[in-house]
Chain A
């Protein structure tokens, strides 16, 4: 199965939902504070840009990349700045992977690339030619949940659920890597996934039970 996305179907890089070219909160605040108004840079497609980014926004370099996502081969042209996370969410509509910190500090964006768990927010999509990506959407077998997904349900291992897709992907990696010898070992090897609701006890239990059933 192959999905060819023509170039025209790709949203422009400066669109509202293209955070890789948007200013960070910090540069936004700094820019607006410096001039005391929201006219510092310019508004393109509803997004405020700082001056030098406006100048550079003419033709940001793009590249064509083919990768397999959850078993489906996809070819797409992306702004080089696009992260795998933004590609998945904004262009492929796979919104299971979440954007938390967008800096590799929270783990909400965890997916598998070529069999290894990684932070998709720090992965440049353009570098994934030929890669195999698995997201939370690709974990279940039809209607049958992955055992760790089921364990999260059984153990009630979440409250708000925002970190859950990342926790589950990371947990699958943790089990595959064999770091489930004790609750302490699971905690250490799951430490790249932060849960603000504090569901760690139940998350660890879900990972532990799934590992034991293998």
Chain B
């Protein structure tokens, strides 16, 4: 680990001042400290933001939900409003990491976490994300865990978060505070696909701080849930996952929100699947036909061709679990 200095921000103004000068924000630290030890991350200054007042979960006026950036994964998952309004968020969180890590890690940090690509984490390997221009060892390497959607010729790393898949499905917005004031960014625009600049992962300006993630109000009743498929039953990253939310009234699907994880360079929204569902009545054949569109545009690599079929089956199963059949 490289030496670093650390300042603790007493308030947001102090944090932003330090951030503007190039300091790296640290909250739970579960990704950052790990990557610093591997010397993948080499910040000169850390800005401890754990004292900032960003720990509230609140229902918005219109019936959505706002989760403060510093609410831990454990607290977010267990919050009664999160559990009752958006079970898909609680489930995605509780299927992530371990109880210990969920006690440490925060919502803001979770969506900022970096890929688990082994070549990214290995400072001796070529990686355009870690060292732009060095090449991508994963492209023709051991890429079983890598992306089949949203990749480029320079990077095929997946985004590892589960709850980000739920946020993408629900069309959440990210609240940011920077030297120039507040702004909000749709979740779909917050995490960036690699393109030719895989080192740029979020639509953050210098010194900007995540203050909250807001889930918009959705028509009720809303059923939602998260399914994660992985190599072991717990404490493992997803091979594939599906976040599904359905608003069904008078036997007809009126709203469908679907996204997939473990397969994309960013959480992968599935508009073709959603479109196939809206206006239809739940049935076994509908789930199968809609899920058939889940891997549209997929470009599998040498070792992850299985993900195409696995993704479709994951989405189909989760549609059935959430939507039932009649």
> Footprint of B on A, CB under 8 Å?
20-21, 24, 26-27, 30, 52-53, 56-57, 60-61, 63, 79-81, 83, 102-104, 107, 110, 116-119, 122-124, 126-127, 129, 170, 173-174, 177, 179, 187-193
Contact = CB atoms under 8 A, between A and B. Distances in A.
Nearest to A22: B1
A12 to B, nearest CB: 13
B29 A124 contact: yes
A191 B234 contact: yes
Contact of A26 (B6, B104, B122): B122
Contact of A80 (B6, B74, B233, B235): B6
Contact of B5 (A26, A61, A129, A190): A61
Contacts of A190: 99
23 contacts: A20-B37, A26-B38, A27-B123, A27-B124, A56-B2, A60-B3, A81-B3, A83-B33, A103-B34, A104-B30, A116-B74, A116-B103, A117-B99, A118-B104, A123-B29, A123-B104, A170-B100, A173-B99, A173-B100, A177-B99, A189-B99, A192-B97, A192-B100
Given A103-B37, A122-B33, A170-B99, A80 B123 contact: no
A173 B1 CA distance: 30
Which among B38, B39, B97, B103 has the highest number of chain A CB atoms within 10 Å?
B103
Contacts of B50: 127
Contacts of B34: 103-104, 122
Nearest to B1: A81
Contact of B100 (A53, A63, A118, A179): A118
B74 to A, nearest CB: 8
Contacts of B124: 26-27, 30
Given A26-B124, A124-B33, A107 B100 contact: yes
Given A24-B39, A27-B123, A192-B101, 8 more contacts: A27-B124, A80-B5, A81-B3, A103-B37, A104-B101, A129-B8, A173-B100, A191-B234
Contact of A102 (B4, B36, B37, B46): B37
B98 A191 contact: yes
Interface of A is mostly: mixed
Interface residues of B, number: 33
Interface string B136-172: 0000000000000000000000000000000000000
A26 B37 CA distance: 11
B2 A53 contact: yes
B48 interface: yes
Contacts of A170: 99-100
B175 to A, nearest CB: 25
A53 B46 CA distance: 18
Contacts of B6: 61, 63, 80, 124, 126-127
Which among A21, A57, A118, A174 has the highest number of chain B CB atoms within 10 Å?
A118
Contacts of B122: 26
Nearest to A82: B1
A24 B98 contact: no
Contact of B29 (A107, A122, A193): A122
A116 B28 CA distance: 13
Contacts of B5: 61, 80
A30 B123 contact: yes
A60 B37 CA distance: 15
A21 B30 contact: no
A119 B46 CA distance: 20
A116 B78 CA distance: 14
Nearest to A117: B100
Which among A57, A102, A126 has the highest number of chain B CB atoms within 10 Å?
A126
Interface string B106-127: 0000000000000000111000
